[in-house]
Structure 1
Amino acid sequence: MIRHILLIKFKDQATESEIAELKALFEAIPSKIEGVVAVEWGVNDSPEGKNKGFTHSVLMTFADEAARQRYLPHPEHDALKVVFRPILEDLIVLDYQSNPKRLTNKEKLCT
């Protein structure tokens, strides 16, 4: 699996309805693009104050590399960009291979 993380900083003039529209588009992606397993939308609620203006996140899970390669040039991804770009101040994108490790009971006690 591949995790695709977006950290989002919206422009000050971005409206709640524009952000809600973007959220709905992201959340519809798994039903429209084969191999996109899940999409999670999040709003920062960290009390640490270290988000540097990034207020929202998206965590997308691809089944495999082929799914990521289908997503990137897909018309639904392009439709996201049409809504996203005008309200976007800054964006961080990070992808990584997910290989979850199950902790043993001993490892759980040590953490």
Structure 2
Amino acid sequence: MIRHCVFMRFRDDVPSLDRQSIYRDLQTLCAKLPGALTITSGANVSPEEGMDKGFSEGFILDFADAAARDAYLVHPEHQEIAGRIVASTAGGTDGVFVFDMEV
């Protein structure tokens, strides 16, 4: 299984409704992709002050395998959502941290 972790530093001027729309669209996309198992999103609630490096929100998506993850990455709907994420984060791609691990 591949765990795809994405953390964001949203700009302060990005409304909560826009953020929720991104998460909702990701859930809709993942519901129709073979091998996409679960998606969870939310705000950082860690008590370890400063350790988040400003990445205040994120989502974790589990895939059955690397092939399912790779199909997601090139999917046109993912590309559109990823573009919205980058446009909404502080510093563009600098405001996004992606980490995949095999579990």
Shorter-chain TM band: 0.7 to 0.9
Find the structure with the greater CA-based Rg.
1
Give 2:3's aligned residue: 3
- State the Cα distance separating 1:16 from its structure 2 match: 1.0
In 1, Cα distance between equivalents of 2:38 and 2:77: 15
Are positions 1:93 and 2:98 aligned together?
Answer: yes
- Percent identity among equivalent residues? 31
In 2, Cα distance between equivalents of 1:65 and 1:47: 32
In 1, Cα distance between equivalents of 2:2 and 2:15: 31
Q: Gaps spanning 5+ residues in structure 1: where? A: 99-111
Q: Gaps spanning 5+ residues in structure 2: where? A: none
TM-score (norm 1): 0.81
Local SS of the residue matching 1:60: strand
Give 2:60's aligned residue: 59
Residue by residue over 1:6-35, the C-alpha shift from the partner in whole angstroms, topping out at 9 and shown as x without a partner, is 111101211111111111112222212111
Moved >4 Å (runs of 4+):
none
Local SS of the residue matching 2:12: coil
| Corresponding letter in the other structure for 2:13 | Q
